[in-house]
Structures are given as structure tokens and as C-alpha cells.
Amino acid sequence: MESLRDAERVIATHFAQSDAPIVVKADRLMAGKGVQVCGTADEAVAFAATVGGTLVIERCVRGVEVSLHVLVDGAVCAPLPLARDHKRLLDGDRGPNTGGMGAIAPVRLPEGVSVDGLMDRCVRPIAVALASRGTPFRGVIFAGLMLDGANPTVLEYNARFGDPETEVLMPLIADDFVSHLLEPGHAAVRVHRGAAAAVVLAARGYPAAPETGRPIVGLDRVPDCHLFHAGTRREGSQVVTNGGRVVVVTARGDDVAEARARAYQGALRISFDGAQFRRDIGGVA
């Protein structure tokens, strides 16, 4: 809707009939700050007024959030393992939303749900529709899904890889991934057995106002992990923090429990003043 007055009316009507939260979204790029799940009418109206512009108001879908990345070339599709991001800053999914504090893959699915089934419901139809109307898509579709039992709802499609999901997907891929990128979707992507987990080391003050310029130690003392430098820079012979999310530590294991244990062992070897990270990545797999 285009006006705040319209939004207020929709919000008031909703809360007159229901106690369920409502979701208010700005209809534009907002660097991850354009969506709020609002439990009261006051909160929803205040958020709508703050973001302004064209708004989308959605019913709140419940369930478990998962990320499905799919290589697509026209109607041809090949999925990557299902991943789960951990968006909130603090353990137990508390605190403000962030760009992502950690991830795991693959996600264990409820009985009766498969990646192929999710593809059929949520991704193949859109790839086929885009191709058949003369606007074929080539690249990666990252569908953000909410799974309520066996029932998926698409929250969003992104035409790019997700972060930090990509940091757990890449170590799981057993093929030469570049060849898949050159011919997306044309062959099934082979993956390693087991699982991967990623822990994000963030700076003090993240996400509101991260500190930067702190020397990082231990980067050369992390065996069995992949380190993704997200917000670092060289300063002379040192590596210093240079962003909110500083380093992502990823490890593989036979299962999520082993992968997360290795990733945490790695994360604990890296330190900088003000480092913060979640202790429960993959704990609810």
C-alpha cells in the first residue's frame, strides 16, 4: 500500500480480529532492516511510519525457516543442500536481527518433506514461469522458506547466494563448483556426506555500530576449518577488524553436532577485543 493511512487501517482491522503478529515490509532494498514482525498495532504503525514509502503487510507465517539455494538455467534447476541461517544476534534467537550469526547444512527435514518436494512446490514453478514468458532466469535462486510441518511458504526469493549459508554450502560441494556456475542447473550437484556448520565472529557493537580496527590473533592457529574473511583488513603485519561480521569459521563433520563442535573449537582460537558470537549455532538442528 502506498499511504500510511491505508497501512494503519489494515493494521487496525487485523488486530481487531486477531492476536497474531503481523509483518510490515518496506517495498525496497533496506540492507536487511526493512522487515519487522510486529506483535501489536502500535508497534506495526510505528514501524510503518519509520520506514515509509510503499509498504507490504503480510500475515505472520509460523514454522521453521530454511534457505533453499538452486542453480537455475531457464526451466532447468539443481538444488544445493538445504541450509539454515541464524539471524538474531543472541543465543535462543533473541536480540536484534543481523546479517546472520551462523548457519548449518543440511537441515534435517520433517517426515514427508524432501528437498525435491520443496523444489516442486517453491522453485521449479517460478523458473518455468519465467522461462515460458520469455524472461528466463540464469543464476542462483535462493528461496527463503518457512516450513510449518510439511507445509512450506515462500517468504522471499533472492537472485543471489545467501550469507552465511554460502559459507556452509561451499565446503559441502564435492564437484568443481565453477563448472556448475558456468552451466547452472544442468547436472546434479554432488555433495560430501555429513554436514557443515559456520560460526560468525562479530565485533562489539554489531549490528548497530560495530567497532573496527582491533587486531585479530589466532587466524593461523585454526586447523580443520575454513575461515572466510568478511570484515578484516591488513594493517602492516597485522590483520585487524574492519566490519561488523569479522570472520566466519566453517567446519565439516559426520553430522551437524560434529561440524559445530569443530567450528566452535576453531572460533575459540581466534580472538580480538570485543569479539562476540552465538554459542547455539546448530543446536536446534
Ligand X SMILES: Nc1ncnc2c1ncn2[C@@H]1O[C@H](COP(=O)(O)OP(=O)(O)O)[C@@H](O)[C@H]1O
Q: Which stretch, 28-36, 187-195, 220-228, 258-266, contacts ligand X (CB under 6 A)?
A: 28-36
Contact by Cβ (8 Å): 275, 215: no
In whole angstroms, the minimum distance from the beta carbon of 157 to Mg ion comes to: 10
In whole angstroms, the minimum distance from the beta carbon of 90 to ligand X comes to: 15
Binding of ligand X at residue 61 (CB under 6 A)? yes
In whole angstroms, the minimum distance from the beta carbon of 22 to ligand X comes to: 9
Q: Which CB atom, from 1 or from 75, has the smaller least distance to ligand X?
A: 1
Q: Which CB atom, from 58 or from 120, has the smaller least distance to ligand X?
A: 58
In whole angstroms, the minimum distance from the beta carbon of 143 to Mg ion comes to: 10
Binding of ligand X at residue 65 (CB under 6 A)? yes
Binding of ligand X at residue 207 (CB under 6 A)? no
Q: Which CB atom, from 151 or from 179, has the smaller least distance to ligand X?
A: 151
> In sequence order, what DSSP letters do the residues of the chain get, joined into one string?
---HHHHHHHHHHHHHH--S-EEEEESS--TT-SEEEESSHHHHHHHHHHH-SSEEEEEPPPSEEEEEEEEEETTEEEEPPPBEE--EEETTTEEEE-S-SEEEESPPPPTT--HHHHIIIIIHHHHHHHHHTT---EEEEEEEEEEETTEEEEEEEESS--TTHHHHHHHHB-S-HHHHHHSTTSSPPPB-SSEEEEEEEE-TTTTTS-----B-B-TTS-TT-EEEESSEEEETTEEEE-SSEEEEEEEEESSHHHHHHHHHHHHHH-B-TT-B--S-TTTT-
Size of the site for ligand X (CB under 6 A): 13
Report 131-190 residues binding ligand X (CB under 6 A). Answer: 144, 155-156
Q: Of 65, 32, 215, nearest to 143 (Cα)?
A: 65
Report 131-170 residues binding Mg ion (CB under 5 A). Answer: 144
In whole angstroms, the minimum distance from the beta carbon of 61 to Mg ion comes to: 13
In whole angstroms, the minimum distance from the beta carbon of 218 to ligand X comes to: 32
Q: Which CB atom, from 144 or from 207, has the smaller least distance to Mg ion?
A: 144
Report 82-111 residues binding ligand X (CB under 6 A). Answer: 87
Binding site for ligand X (CB under 6 A): 23, 32, 34-35, 37, 58, 60-61, 65, 87, 144, 155-156
Binding site for Mg ion (CB under 5 A): 144
